[in-house]
Amino acid sequence: MECVFGMVGNGFSLVVADSSAVHSILVHKSNEDKIMILDSHKLMGASGEAGDRAQFTEYVQKNVALYQFRNGIPLTTAAAANFTRGELATALRKNPYMVNIILAGYDKETGPSLYYIDYIATLHKVDKAAFGYGSYFSLAMMDRHYRKDMTVEEAVDLADKCILEIRSRLVVAPPNFVIKIVDKDGAREYAWRESVKDAPVSTS
């Protein structure tokens, strides 16, 4: 029951993802970070098959770094989104990745932005987006409360409302979520919202 969602505020973009690693009826861990920091000013939240998600997000991260290494300048958020979309479109005809992506970034010239990219290589620039079963509730909450001029505190409060709604309404709701933000100061982890902690593993 995965859930990834994001929104653009006044000078920043925010991405939230659940942190459950699930296979069939089993929860393997509840602290899996599904939001990749691509570079200093880009975040990639992903949902989908665990192997595809991990492999594809790392592939994009390394190619973004390779471009900057070769050319001396980083990709813009729009360029990174189009690269990601192109790789998904190419794979679609060969060996598709079952992964849905929310790409957030901040550029000096254009400010914050958010891109919706699904597993069949659909790309849209949006103000708010969501994937997974939790999207039914998070999109409804964002439709009601979202504003383009939101501060970080207001956006995090809205994210908390979305998380609360998902936990209370979804029959098998993920317990833990991670919130990350990207703005002029860079991409960073903002907070975790945990209701379950993994038990420590004994080394003896």
Per-residue pLDDT tens digits for 51-98: 999 999 999 999 999 999 999 999 999 999 999 999 999 999 999 999
Percent of the chain with pLDDT over 70: 96
Q: Most confidently modeled of 24-28, 115-119, 132-136? A: 115-119
Residue 3 and residue 135: Cα distance in Å, rounded?
Answer: 6
pTM given for the model:
0.91
Three-state DSSP at 40 gives coil
Residue 126 and residue 109: Cα distance in Å, rounded?
Answer: 18
Query: Residue 129 — φ and ψ, nearest 5°?
Result: -155, 160
Determine the pLDDT at residue 203.
59
Determine the pLDDT at residue 25.
84
Is the domain defined by 2-192 classed in CATH 3.60.20.10?
yes
Determine the pLDDT at residue 184.
94
The overall longest dimension of the chain from CA atoms, in Å, is: 54
Q: What is the mean pLDDT of the chain?
A: 92
Q: Domain residues of the chain, as ranges? A: 2-192
